[in-house]
Amino acid sequence: MATIGTPTNISQGSRTKGGIGESTLRPDGILKVTGEFAYSSDMWHEDMLWGHTLRSTVAHAEIKSIDVSEALATSGVYAVLTYDDLPTEVKNYGLEIQDTPVLAHGKVRHHGEPVALVAADHPETARRAAAKIKIEYVELPVITDEASATAPDAILVHEGRDDHHIGHVPHPNIVHRQPIVRGNADEAAERADVIVKGEYTFGMQDQAFLGPESGLAVPSEDGGVELYVATQWLHSDLRQIAPVLGLPEEKIRMTLSGVGGAFGGREDLSMQIHACLLALRTGKPVKIVYNRFESFFGHVHRHPAKLYYEHGATKDGKLTHMKCRIVLDGGAYASASPAVVGNASSLSVGPYVVDDVDIEAIALYSNNPPCGAMRGFGAVQACFAYEAQMDKLAAKLGMDPVEFRRLNAMEQGSIMPTGQPVDSPAPVAELLRRVKARPLPPEQQWLSAGQEADVRALPGGLSNTTHGEGVVRGVGYAVGIKNVGFSEGFDDYSTARVRMEVVGGEPVATVHTAMAEVGQGGVTVHAQIARTELGVAQVTIQPADTQVGSAGSTSASRQTYVTGGAVKHTCENVREKVLEIGRRKFGSYHPAWATAELLLEGGKVVTDGGEVLADLVDVLEGESVDVELEWRHRPTEAFDLRTGQGNGHVQYSFAAHRAVVEVDTELGLVKVIELAVAQDVGKALNPLSVVGQIQGGTTQGLGVAVMEEIIVDPKTAKVRNPSFTDYLIPTILDTPTIPVDVLELADDHAPYGLRGIGEAPTLSSTPAVLAAIRNATGLELNRTPVRPEHLTGT
């Protein structure tokens, strides 16, 4: 009989049933297992049309002409729109720099750029009509790497760019640049007994969320539009949509519909404006659902990167200095590239103490697919490189790789390369100790006593490519550091509205935020927070929409911290108001109303000594409390554009991995046997969800280690593998056992001491797997993903 559950190490307990610290179940769980949960692609409206996007077949070209007449004449087609049909002078949008055209005008800058839109009565009609649109392109040379982008005669991807970054970059084809200089790396290098250099390549990863981009736009009677859509940040979408439509924001009512995963890929707009334009033009509801092929063109990817590193260390194992240069390819449009550069540079040293550093990170404009946010956001690429460097240094010094890391591990009070002190627990050495202390899985698991080899447990699996011959094992370690929340001075706030009243004889709390639930479990945690703060069993979570203030983005591991913080803060305010009502109604009956610290627990007002003063039903009878408040974490500041100094981050998150792999050296096939992880979460508000997030993040890191990559043809900048047949994500057969060890070292600055968790496990998973493959094969392996040809030298 198999064991149930993965052993974890999380403390349990909370004063209120269903409150924080308990593994309460998802409120949307029943709907999701019965197929009744309404995802954005499930929306339906009477008299609904289907929208379709025509996308460029070339990466870089001038558009000489577009002829839509034949498409428009197709039976069942209601509208065909191009750039000329946009209703206002605002024709671009963007997260930070408004450089992304709603529909291409004059030029296309990447393969798959939207050029025209069709609305028809059947999705196939729309697709076939779009195929009849005639576009005349004059192809231009493609910019695909740093050399072609910064060549003296390079064509500018964006002529006449006028954003605020232009003054700080050496070439207009560079979106942003962030140097960090601290101490004197050249001088410090002279103290080094060993120096290692490395060049690393990180492939383009895709978020590959399962639910494709989709949504429904419904024109409203006041000339506005209602939009039901899967997104990560409703208010950010709204801010970008309104100017293009020429409508005031209050005429665009956005409601979050079910989101099938996000991982950063829904931070940028996809079909939002397109569906609204078609709905406003036709006067009918319009639904757009991307298929998987289109989804690969419909969202930004993780920046592929080249990383050049130099580290030095003394013979007793202390790091002397670090120099690095990180070149991120941002593709055709800026998206989140400036912030990704800020993260990559400021986290490029990793969770180590190095006083003397010389760092530069840049992001390019190119004709490759646009890149932006993805889980780990710039820290992932750096972690891959600095962890390889740590192993190289340890090997050169003849030291154990974990011991070498622990000698240099940062801790609370350490100083970041940006000069910022780490002012909360940083248990880097302890996380490494924990993954190392875990017993190793038994050797040659494919053999069980007296039986034939179970090929399913071998590299190559059911393909039956080996029975164990040529299979070698390796073990590798890695640890990473990720910032939590939006950095560099961003006003990173959230809003919560909480109502408390008596419904059906029970005290009930209602929580309304605009937080995008993308699967991470925010809706579960918000109810837990309300139960803890308000002492009620019944908590209703209202659907997220723009009728309440912004919650910020469901990204950067920030939602439980920031929107959770907003819910907590608002509940505390509601609690005070409830107690005021109680004092007014019942204060004369007991002196504790005026003198004691009062709590709400189990539907009652109690003193901190446990004495019950009143039932909440009696306090709230005939009254209700309704509060909406914004909440902010500690402010951050921008990094100096020359030195990189500044208190840019609000909190850090740490995870460590140990990977155990087996490699068939004859065929170059890898099987990851186990991927153990230890992470500090500050406080596990919902242990079950915490473990799920850590395992999911770990698996995305595994994917980029051994299989995931969008392949872009370097000659044409065309995407070669936009499908789940050719872009591989880990299946259950590719994914090993993932034992999770959770630490709870509270961050005193955060609500409940919690630490954002979603991204950190994605960082160290990849380099741990690479380290294990290197350990098994003795190969250097400076690129990810590792492919069979890298292991067999073919």
Partner 1 sequence: MRVNFTVNGRQQEADDVWEGESLLYVLRERMGLPGSKNACEQGECGSCTVRLDGVPVCSCLVAAGQVEGREVVTVEGLADFARQRAEHGGCATGACGTTLDQAKRWEARPSDSQTGEGSALSPIQQAFIDAGAVQCGFCTPGLLVAADELLERNAEPSDADIREALSGNLCRCTGYEKILDAVRLAAARQEEAV
* Sign for the pseudo-dihedral over CA of 311, 314, 315, 317: negative
For position 31 contacting partner 1 by CB under 8 A, the verdict is: yes
For position 480 contacting partner 1 by CB under 8 A, the verdict is: no
Per residue in 17-35, is it b (16+ CB within 10 Å) or e — as a string? ebbbbbbbebbbeeeeeee
Binding residue for partner 1, selected from 11, 15, 17, 36, defined by CB under 8 A: 36
Cα(146)–Cα(591) distance, integer angstroms: 74
Instruction: Give the residue with the Cβ less far from partner 1, 282 or 735.
Output: 735
Cα(199)–Cα(381) distance, integer angstroms: 12
Binding residue for partner 1, selected from 26, 176, 182, 235, defined by CB under 8 A: 26
Pairing outcome for strands 305-313 and 319-329: antiparallel
* Closest CB 736 distance from partner 1, rounded Å: 9
* Closest CB 669 distance from partner 1, rounded Å: 16
Total residues at the site for partner 1 (CB under 8 A)?
A: 70
With 0-12 / 13-18 / 19 or more C-beta atoms within 10 angstroms meaning exposed / middle / buried, residue 491 is exposed
Instruction: Give the residue with the Cβ less far from partner 1, 76 or 788.
Output: 76
Among the candidate windows 40-48, 302-310, 464-472, 486-494, which touches partner 1 by CB under 8 A? Answer: 40-48
Instruction: Give the residue with the Cβ less far from partner 1, 107 or 266.
Output: 266
SS3 129: helix
Binding residue for partner 1, selected from 289, 327, 334, 712, defined by CB under 8 A: 289
Query: Using an 8 Å Cβ cutoff, are 242 and 254 in contact?
Result: no
Binding residue for partner 1, selected from 11, 15, 17, 38, defined by CB under 8 A: 38
DSSP 274-309: HHHHHHHHHSS-EEEE--HHHHHHHS-EEPPEEEEE
For position 257 contacting partner 1 by CB under 8 A, the verdict is: no
* Closest CB 735 distance from partner 1, rounded Å: 5
* Closest CB 237 distance from partner 1, rounded Å: 19
* Sign for the pseudo-dihedral over CA of 664, 668, 674, 676: positive
Considering only residues 764 to 793 of the shown chain, the ones binding partner 1 according to CB under 8 A are: none
Instruction: Give the residue with the Cβ less far from partner 1, 128 or 632.
Output: 128
* Closest CB 776 distance from partner 1, rounded Å: 22
Instruction: Give the residue with the Cβ less far from partner 1, 6 or 314.
Output: 6
Cα(42)–Cα(258) distance, integer angstroms: 9
For position 312 contacting partner 1 by CB under 8 A, the verdict is: no
Instruction: Give the residue with the Cβ less far from partner 1, 490 or 724.
Output: 724
For position 538 contacting partner 1 by CB under 8 A, the verdict is: no
* Closest CB 401 distance from partner 1, rounded Å: 25
Query: Using an 8 Å Cβ cutoff, are 316 and 350 in contact?
Result: no
* Closest CB 7 distance from partner 1, rounded Å: 11
Instruction: Give the residue with the Cβ less far from partner 1, 6 or 88.
Output: 6
Backbone angles phi, psi at 692, to 5 degrees: -60, -40
Considering only residues 428 to 447 of the shown chain, the ones binding partner 1 according to CB under 8 A are: none
Instruction: Give the residue with the Cβ less far from partner 1, 368 or 554.
Output: 554
| Total Cβ atoms within 10 A of residue 221 | 5
Query: Using an 8 Å Cβ cutoff, are 548 and 513 in contact?
Result: yes
Cα(394)–Cα(577) distance, integer angstroms: 59
Cα(213)–Cα(275) distance, integer angstroms: 12
Binding residue for partner 1, selected from 14, 28, 163, 251, defined by CB under 8 A: 28
Binding residue for partner 1, selected from 563, 653, 679, 699, defined by CB under 8 A: 699
Binding residue for partner 1, selected from 208, 227, 383, 574, defined by CB under 8 A: 208
Instruction: Give the residue with the Cβ less far from partner 1, 522 or 668.
Output: 522
Binding residue for partner 1, selected from 25, 140, 154, 166, defined by CB under 8 A: 25
Considering only residues 44 to 83 of the shown chain, the ones binding partner 1 according to CB under 8 A are: 44
Whole-Å CA distances, 304 to 301, 372, 783: 9, 10, 11
Binding residue for partner 1, selected from 457, 472, 596, 746, defined by CB under 8 A: 457
Report the Cα 696 to chain-centroid distance in Å: 12
For position 449 contacting partner 1 by CB under 8 A, the verdict is: no
For position 560 contacting partner 1 by CB under 8 A, the verdict is: no
* Closest CB 374 distance from partner 1, rounded Å: 12
SS3 216: strand
DSSP 392-416: HHHHHHT--HHHHHHHHB--TT-B-
* Sign for the pseudo-dihedral over CA of 142, 146, 150, 153: negative
Among the candidate windows 4-12, 174-182, 365-373, 601-609, which touches partner 1 by CB under 8 A? Answer: 4-12
Number of residues that this document lists for the chain = 794
* Closest CB 209 distance from partner 1, rounded Å: 6
Cα(41)–Cα(271) distance, integer angstroms: 12
* Closest CB 241 distance from partner 1, rounded Å: 24
Cα(303)–Cα(203) distance, integer angstroms: 8
* Closest CB 230 distance from partner 1, rounded Å: 10
Among the candidate windows 336-344, 435-443, 645-653, 692-700, which touches partner 1 by CB under 8 A? Answer: 692-700
Contacts of 69 (CB under 8 A, 6+ apart): none
Contacts of 710 (CB under 8 A, 6+ apart): 203, 204, 205, 206, 296, 301, 369, 719, 721, 722, 727
- Through-space distance between the first and last CA atoms of the chain, rounded to whole angstroms: 43
Can you name the residues that pair with 663 across neighbouring β-strands?
Answer: 472, 670
For position 160 contacting partner 1 by CB under 8 A, the verdict is: no
Considering only residues 92 to 151 of the shown chain, the ones binding partner 1 according to CB under 8 A are: 122, 124
* Sign for the pseudo-dihedral over CA of 188, 193, 199, 205: negative
With 0-12 / 13-18 / 19 or more C-beta atoms within 10 angstroms meaning exposed / middle / buried, residue 670 is buried
* Closest CB 437 distance from partner 1, rounded Å: 20
SS3 538: strand
Binding map of partner 1 across residues 706-735, x = CB under 8 A, - = no contact: -----------------xxx---xxxxx-x
Q: Which residues bind partner 1 (CB under 8 A)?
A: 1-6, 23, 25-26, 28-39, 41-42, 44, 122, 124, 207-212, 258-263, 289, 291-292, 454, 456-457, 462, 518-521, 688-689, 691-692, 695-700, 723-725, 729-733, 735, 737-738
